[in-house]
Amino acid sequence: MVNKAIIVGRLGHDASARTTADGMVISNFSVATDERRKGEQVTEWHSVVAFGKLAEICNQYLTKGKLVYVSGKIQTRTWDDKDGNRKSRTEIIADEMQMLDSKPDNGGIRKQSDIPAGDSIPF
């Protein structure tokens, strides 16, 4: 079985980060992809989550409007809100990100394998 998502699109907002009680950095951002269907442009929004060192990099460099390549796996999480209503959200858990608008010194590619063992993604 394969669970792999690859998207190229523009960021809808600056990446935002938070740190868990145990020190893990988590970054969230949204990416818009466009396609034409029957002559009409349709925009799809994708929620992306990155962890550890990749999250730190995303939070430092990803700002609204930038073109970005993201690959990872698709995951749906569910929870109950404060009123007891069941909620769910489907996200891409990023394991690779590349900035496409400009060429950073390192080519912009960040992979899970480049991240030190202590910062590995917990999935």
Tell me the average pLDDT across 98-123. 52
Reported pTM: 0.77
d(CA 94, CA 97): 7
The neighbour count for residue 94, using CB atoms within 10 Å, is 26
Q: For the purposes of burial, counting CB atoms within 10 Å of the CB of 32, is it exposed (0-12), middle (13-18) or buried (19 or more)?
A: middle
Distances (CA, A) of 94 to 42, 86, 106: 23, 25, 19
**What is the structure's pLDDT at 120?**
38
**Over 70: is that where the pLDDT of 46 sits?**
yes
Ranking 11-25, 27-41, 100-114 by mean pLDDT, the lowest is 100-114
d(CA 105, CA 98): 12
The CATH code belonging to domain 5-113 is 2.40.50.140
**What is the structure's pLDDT at 116?**
45
d(CA 43, CA 70): 17
**What is the structure's pLDDT at 121?**
37
**What is the structure's pLDDT at 102?**
64
Q: What percent of the chain has pLDDT over 70?
A: 82
Q: What is the band of 123 on the pLDDT scale with cuts at 50, 70, 90? A: very low
**What is the structure's pLDDT at 3?**
96
d(CA 67, CA 53): 20
